[in-house]
Structure 1
Amino acid sequence: MSASVAVVGKIIWVLGVVAWYVIRYPHARRAKRVRVVSDRRSLPEAIGLGAALLGMSVIPAIYVATGIPESADYPARAWAVAIGAILYIAAMWVFRRTHKELGKNWSITLEIRDNHKLICNGPYAHVRHPMYTSFMLMALGQAFLLSNWVVGLAGLIGFAVLFFLRVDKEERMMLDVFGQEYRAYMDRTKRIIPYIY
């Protein structure tokens, strides 16, 4: 039973990654057509993106494909896979809504695009960084879906490195561009968890 539950968890994780790509791809193509007017890319940001890619894509993909590191496996539980599936569905919903609201303002790196606007609708009405909210939900979902200590921790660590290396720089950039309008927005919203943080 545990082995078949583990397979279901792996399948759901793969479907989640495919959904992530399907959601992101058209927005990435569209964003390339909009001129960048301010680029704040940095080494810490590249490290954060690399850590997230490693922890939330590369390490779990190797595990799903090969079972390595098998020594860190623990018995898969149906309730854990169900929680992981719910977290992944929630992550994809937030991820899609975030991209839809951002439209041409979206960028994978810290950039300001031509005619950039401050978005305060949809998930942005509740948190300033719902994209990170979706990544946090994905990392938690990964920890429940894939019954391996290394893979579960890799996603959480990858998310944490990205978040803590980038979020302060992102907020400084938004303050530089939008000034008091962004300050007021900060006063009425939380960072990634509504009403909490």
Structure 2
Amino acid sequence: MNASSAIIGESIWVAGIICWYIIRRPFERRARAIRVIDNRRSVVDRVGLWAAVLGQGLVPGVYIATGMPAVADYPAHIWATALGTVLFFSGLWLFRKTHKELGKNWSISLEIRDKHKLVHTGPYSRVRHPMYSSFLLLAFGQMFLLPNWAVGLAGLLGFSVLFFLRVGKEEHMMMETFGNDYRNYAKTTKRIIPYFY
């Protein structure tokens, strides 16, 4: 393993996670001040959130701190670190953009807030769930930044569990709340990958 590429990749991942938290924190604080009028939190919802935290936070954090599981390491290359950096920071850029676009409508869970609006501008003009798109970019970035099969797959698995447990329920809730406006919006957009899915 190219030690310097591995160290650079780990450092970039850590810096990226700090940026992720800095982006998210003000929206969490603001969200507490806005009344929730429909809360669909469930055990399944929590399982999805914890899968994402485990796969895209705890597993790579433990790997960076301990080097475990070293048996799943593969050689680090500067091209992979560069690609991982582009993917990871593209994910962070999209993550911030989606938060800004949602504004007071943002919630960590399946909730409708007071005076909730259907957002279909910015990244939402291309896909219905750009925050999941950002998580997918972060997962692929993690895979290239941290040269370990288990850690790379943990990020993709964590994303997949969150996405497939929540997206259908999220869309159902939006259809119930916004009716034909959401149905028409869904006809003109893809879920997370523009022009594809």
TM-score tier (shorter) = over 0.9
Which residue in the other structure is 1:99 paired with? 99
Once the 2 structures are TM-superposed, how far is the Cα of residue 89 of structure 1 from its aligned partner? 1.1
Q: Kindly, what percent of the aligned residue pairs are identical?
A: 60
Which residue in the other structure is 1:23 paired with? 23
- Structure 2 counterpart SS, 1:29: helix
Matched residue type, 1:167:
V
CA distance in 1, matches of 2:8, 2:186: 40
Once the 2 structures are TM-superposed, how far is the Cα of residue 42 of structure 1 from its aligned partner? 1.2
User: Is 1:129 the equivalent of 2:129?
Assistant: yes
User: Which of structure 1's runs of 4+ aligned residues deviate more than 2 A?
Assistant: none
CA distance in 2, matches of 1:27, 1:35: 14
* Deviation digits for residues 72-126 of structure 1 (CA, Å, limit 9, x no counterpart): 1111011111110000111011000000010011000000000000001110000
| Residue pairs, 1:1-197, within 5 angstroms | 2-197=2-197
Once the 2 structures are TM-superposed, how far is the Cα of residue 43 of structure 1 from its aligned partner? 1.3
Number of aligned residue pairs: give it: 197
RMSD between aligned residues = 0.7
Matched residue type, 1:78:
I
CA distance in 1, matches of 2:7, 2:93: 24
TM-score calculated relative to the size of structure 2: 0.99
Unaligned runs of 5+ in 2: none
TM-score calculated relative to the size of structure 1: 0.99
Matched residue type, 1:107:
S
* Deviation digits for residues 11-58 of structure 1 (CA, Å, limit 9, x no counterpart): 010011011000000011001100000001111111110100000000
- Structure 2 counterpart SS, 1:37: strand
- Structure 2 counterpart SS, 1:118: coil
Matched residue type, 1:135:
F
CA distance in 2, matches of 1:33, 1:130: 24
